[in-house]
Homo-oligomer: A and B are copies of this chain.
Amino acid sequence: MGENINPRLAEVMSALVRHLHGFAKEVQLTQDEWDLAIAFLTRTGQICSEERQEFILLSDTLGFSMLVDAINNRRPSGATENTVFGPFHVDGAPVRQMGDCISLDGKGDSCLFEGRVLDLHGEPIENACVDVWSDNSEGFYDVQQPDIQPKWNNRGRFVTGTDGVYRFIGIKPVSYPIPDDGPVGQMLGHLGRHPYRPAHMHFLVTAPGFKKIVTHTFVGDDPYLASDTVFGVKETLIAPFEHVRGETEWRSPFDFVMVPEERSS
């Protein structure tokens, strides 16, 4: 490397090259395997589009995304843990009234999601924005079916008041396969792995003065909880889903606990 280059870049690239070379030496990588790897990476890049990010899928399915998240989001005990962001978030979902329903296609088991956004002392956080999104009852996000699902189906933003409470009606999410008709799906097939994610509701919780939370809550009886294809499940994120007889069929209570932002001094 030359002189006067970014020292962090030099550090990262040196380590990357060292680890990649260590890998090739350890497994005594053959020329044919190298050819396969080049072809795989090329196909992975070429299937990427505005709507599809196969390299993120690759990172996710190798557990790399969760590792990077863990490295960058160490939190004190009691704070809500992060998990993968995933490729299906859309900026600018409608801000809805507390208690509104986000399911616009009328399908699926209705479920009341409610709880509070709290700080580490258990005090409610006002003006927290709870941005939520999930698949529909057939396992697809609205952006995957723009011609079938209403725009913003199963998405919405909710802003807390002084009590820190959020509340909305959605559906009990269902498990679904990640897009598996591309190179990553082929890889999973060769590895004898299924492409499923256990059912989950996505949450992006932000509030002034606090670190954002990027997480899901998981449905506890899902058969894929122990084998999430992107390794996103954490014990603390498995939420109650209670069968209720009320306005909705299910109720899932869950509180979010936020950590103050670090001040740059």
Q: Which residues of A contact B (CB under 8 A)?
A: 1-6, 9-13, 15-17, 19-31, 33-34, 38, 41-46, 48, 53, 55-56, 59, 62-65, 67-69, 71-72, 190-193
Contacts and interface: CB of A to CB of B under 8 A. Distances in A.
B42 A193 contact: no
A38 B55 contact: yes
B27 A12 contact: yes
| Copies of this subunit | 2
Given A21-B64, A64-B21, A192-B1, A38 B56 contact: yes
From DSSP, what is the main secondary structure of chain A's interface residues? helix
Nearest to A48: B42
A190 B42 contact: no
Contact of A9 (B24, B56, B191): B191
A26 B68 CA distance: 11
Given A29-B68, A29-B71, A68-B31, A4 B192 contact: yes
A132 B86 CA distance: 49
Nearest to A187: B13
